[in-house]
Amino acid sequence: MKIGIIGAGNMGGAIARGLAKTDYFQAKDIIVSDLSEACLSALQDSVPDICVCKDNLQAAQADIVLLAVKPWLVDIVLTEIASALNEKKILIVVAAGVAFEQIYKHLPEALSEMPCYRLIPNTAISEMTSMNLFAAANTKPEQNEFIFKIFSDLGTCMLLDEDKMAAATSLTSCGIAYALRYVRASVQAAVEMGFRPADAQAMVAQTMKGAAELLLNNDTSAENEIDKVTTPGGITIKGLNELEANGFSNAVIKALKASR
């Protein structure tokens, strides 16, 4: 089983690095194509046995073909590799806002029922802790199970109706940036309070990880966990009130709605 990844940028490279750590693919079974020599060299430096090339058609010879290119390049690349595709292969498109209708429009009529997934991971896929959003078209239950097994090694997988993908992307893919903006602000505050940046970042990052684990590992909610550390007259409620006085929740809600 081979997988061809077209695009070795931030996302394509992260997926390739993550897959190389799983039991489903040896590095030599991952073929990555890109026009950028720098991107290919950086990828091969981190995973020496991975196959790299500048020919998208070569990557498209694989059993699973994954497009990790900018949305405006999807049409061009699909047209370029169409001759290498068939209905026995699985096509995965990683491009926000590119609907199945657009994908199939640029494939030959003979591939109108080719199994296809839209995938939106986030950059934590390189650390095998991504939130992987999937929508599926013309796929069978056993194919869904197979793809989920592969990508479950890289994080959590969720299958959604296509019309939910944009909103979910703002929560998960854009959400990485929003969470890290909180980390950055916290580090800035910590430096003002006398901490070295590296120490502050370590403390904040571990706290964020702990907060996430509380929610993921327990039958609880964010509000319940907030209540546990918010004692009457205590310091936490003072900070929470200051956040709300400065529009924290409203800013988060508006950011998520703006980015869907």
> Using an 8 Å Cβ cutoff, are 152 and 146 in contact?
no
DSSP string, 58-102: HHTTSSEEEE-S-GGGHHHHHHHHGGG--TTSEEEE--TT--HHH
Q: At what angle do helices 248-258 and 235-245 cross, to 10 degrees?
A: 50
**Does residue 3 come out as left (phi exceeding 0), alpha (psi in the -120 to 50 range) or beta?**
beta
> 260: pLDDT confidence band, cut at 50, 70 and 90?
confident
pLDDT of amino acid 38: 95
CATH 1.10.3730.10 in the chain, residue ranges:
168-258
> Using an 8 Å Cβ cutoff, are 200 and 186 in contact?
yes
What are the pLDDT digits (tens) for 106-145?
A: 999 999 999 999 999 998 887 889 999 999 999 999 999 9
d(CA 96, CA 99): 9
d(CA 11, CA 14): 5
Cα 132 to Cα 19, 142, 188: the distances in Å are 13, 18, 31
What are the pLDDT digits (tens) for 18-30?
A: 899 888 899 999 9
Amino acid at 11: M
Structure tokens at 189: 């505050």
Does 3-160 carry CATH code 1.10.10.10? no
> Judging by DSSP bridges, how do beta strands 30-33 and 64-67 pair with one another?
unpaired
pTM value > 0.95: no
> Using an 8 Å Cβ cutoff, are 8 and 34 in contact?
yes
CATH 3.40.50.720 in the chain, residue ranges:
3-160
Mean pLDDT of 84-99: 95
Mean pLDDT of 199-214: 98
d(CA 178, CA 245): 19
Of the chain, the percentage scoring pLDDT greater than 90 comes to 92
pLDDT of amino acid 127: 86
- Check pLDDT > 90 for residue 250: yes
pLDDT of amino acid 69: 96
- Cβ burial of 170 (10 Å; 0-12, 13-18, 19+) is middle
Does 168-258 carry CATH code 1.10.3730.10? yes
d(CA 220, CA 197): 32
Mean pLDDT of 3-8: 97
Kindly tell me the sign of the dihedral angle through the C-alpha atoms of 253, 256, 259, 260. Answer: negative
